[in-house]
Amino acid sequence: MTCSDMKIFIQSLNAFEASRVLNDLLEADSGLVQKAYECAVKVAADVDPESICDAVYTCLSMLHFDDLNGRAGTQGGYLSPYEAACELFEETLTHFVGEIVINWERGLPAAAKACCIGIVKGLQMYDEDPDSEFGGWVEDVTGEFINSVVKEWKNGNPSSDDIAEIMMIVGGDRS
């Protein structure tokens, strides 16, 4: 088997299999730990705000009125369509906001900031989309979600320069 064939096989592994291979390699050769760590930091720090923006916008755009109908109503207590829409919106953003926290915990403030920028821009793009059928149910709360994203990011204690940069993107003083 050629080196190229071996790379192709390795690249075909699913995430669980690849994780097992990496763990086995690290256990077999402690010298690889430093290289693996450096590679992991490089990969984790490589956060593209525009990709996050697109992903946030796409995920929010996939919400539809039918999703709302499945939640609103009197199942175990009344939930208004507005409240149901807010819940779905928040659930959709949970993963993205979680990435901010993870990057702060990893000691990657630039990656946390890039996540925040991407989420904010994605929310702004969604808010400006006139074709969003679901957006009509949450149009008044997009700013609140932007505020909560920025607040979560600020919990990581960013520099004043980074805060100023985020505030320029947000377009105002958000606490």
What is the Cα–Cα distance from 121 to 91, expressed in whole angstroms? 18
Residue 79: what are its φ and ψ, rounded to 5°?
-125, 115
Q: Domain map of the chain by residue range?
A: 1-45, 47-170
What is the Cα–Cα distance from 68 to 70, expressed in whole angstroms? 5
Sequence-separated (6 or more) residues with CB below 8 Å from residue 57: 122, 125, 126, 129
Task: Evaluate whether 32 touches 25 at the Cβ level (below 8 Å).
Answer: yes
Q: Is residue 27 predicted with pLDDT exceeding 60?
A: yes
Region 98-104: what's the mean pLDDT? Answer: 97
pLDDT tens per residue, range 117-159: 999 999 999 988 877 777 776 777 888 899 999 999 999 999 9
Give the pLDDT of residue 174.
Answer: 45
pLDDT tens per residue, range 29-86: 989 999 999 999 999 999 999 999 999 999 998 887 776 666 666 566 677 778 888 8
Tokens 């086995």 belong to which residue? 24
Q: Count the helix, strand and coil residues of the chain and give each as a percent rounded to the nearest 5.
A: 75, 0, 25
Closest CA to 42 of 110, 113, 98: 110
- Which tokens in the block code for residue 63? 């919400």
